[in-house]
Chain A
Amino acid sequence: MKHSNIYHTARKVLIYTMLTIVAVIVLIPFYYLILASFTDTTRLFTDGLTLVPRWDRMGFFNYARTVTDREGAYWAWYKNSIQIAVLFTAGGLFLTSMVGYSLATYRFRGRTFIFILVLIVMMIPIEILMLPLYNLTVKWRIINTKAGVILPFMVAGNAIFFFRQFSTSLPVDLMDAGRIDGATEYGIYFRIMVPLMKPAFGAMTILLAMMSWNMFVWPLIVLRENWNFTIPIGLASLLTPYGNNYALLIPGAVLAVVPVVIVFLFNQKSFISGLASGGVKG
Chain B
Amino acid sequence: MSSRTIVEDKKLAGTVKRFLYSQKVAPYVLVSPFIISFLIFFLVPTIQTINMSFHKVISLNSMEFIGIKNYTRLWNVHFFNAIRTNTIYTLICVCTMIPIPIILSVILNDKLIRGRNFYRSVFFIPSLTSVIVAGVSFRLIFGSLPNALFNWLLSFVGVEPVSWNMEYWPAMFIMVCLALWRVTGVYMIYFLSGLQSIPEELYESADIDGADSVKKFFHITLPLLKPTTLYVLTLVIFEGYRMFGESYVYWEENTPGDLGLTITRYIYMEAFRKNDMGFGSAIGITLLCIVMIINVIQLKSFGLFRKED
A residues near B, CB below 8 A? Answer: 15, 18-19, 22-23, 26-30, 32-33, 36, 44-45, 47-51, 95-96, 98-99, 101-103, 106, 108, 111, 114, 117-118, 121, 123-125, 127-136, 138-139, 151-155, 160, 179, 184-186, 189, 210, 213-214, 216-217, 221, 231-232, 235-236, 239-241, 249-250, 253, 256-257, 260-261, 264-265, 268, 271-272, 275-276, 279-282
Contacts and interface: CB of A to CB of B under 8 A. Distances in A.
Contacts of A280: 127, 186
Contact of B285 (A128, A155, A184): A128
Interface in B11-63: 21-24, 26-31, 33-35, 37-38, 40-42, 44-46, 48-49, 52, 60
B41 A152 contact: yes
A131 B280 contact: yes
B127 A98 contact: no
B277 A131 contact: yes
Nearest to A185: B26
Interface residues of B, number: 90
B92 interface: no
A26 B122 contact: yes
B130 A261 contact: no
B60 A133 contact: no
Contacts of B23: 179, 185
B137 A29 contact: yes
Contact of B41 (A106, A129, A186, A232): A129
Interface stretch (B65-73, B76-84, B143-151, B217-225): B143-151
What is the interface of chain B mostly: helix, strand, loop, or mixed?
helix
B233 interface: no
Nearest to A44: B140
Contacts of B49: 128-129, 131-132
Contact of B271 (A33, A51, A131, A257): A131
A235 B136 contact: yes
Q: Which of A98, A139, A153 has the most CB of B within 10 A?
A: A98
Contact of B129 (A28, A32, A51, A214): A214
A118 B189 contact: no
Interface string B231-252: 0000100110110110011001
B129 A49 contact: no
Given A108-B24, A214-B131, A257-B128, A99 B31 contact: yes
A240 B140 contact: no
A29 B21 contact: no
Given A28-B141, A48-B147, A49-B148, 20 more contacts: A26-B184, A102-B30, A117-B38, A118-B34, A127-B244, A128-B285, A136-B40, A153-B41, A179-B23, A185-B23, A214-B129, A214-B131, A217-B244, A217-B245, A221-B272, A231-B130, A236-B249, A236-B252, A264-B125, A276-B193
Contacts of B128: 210, 257, 260-261, 264, 271, 275
Contacts of A271: 124, 128
B278 to A, nearest CB: 9
B98 to A, nearest CB: 14
A276 B187 CA distance: 8
Interface of B: 21-24, 26-31, 33-35, 37-38, 40-42, 44-46, 48-49, 52, 60, 104, 107-108, 113, 119-134, 136-138, 140-141, 143, 145-149, 152, 181, 184-186, 189-190, 193, 235, 238-239, 241-242, 244-245, 248-249, 252-253, 264, 267-268, 271-272, 277, 280-281, 284-285, 287-288, 291-292, 295
16 contacts: A29-B134, A102-B30, A106-B30, A111-B27, A123-B291, A129-B45, A131-B280, A135-B277, A138-B60, A185-B22, A216-B132, A232-B131, A232-B132, A239-B252, A240-B252, A257-B128
Contacts of B264: 125, 127, 217
Contacts of B125: 26-27, 30, 261, 264
Contacts of A117: 34, 38
Nearest to A217: B244
B287 A125 contact: yes
Contacts of B277: 131, 135
Contact of A216 (B149, B235, B245): B245
Contact of A276 (B44, B189, B248, B288): B189
A131 B186 contact: no
A189 B186 contact: no
Contact of A15 (B44, B113, B145, B268): B113
B138 A29 contact: yes
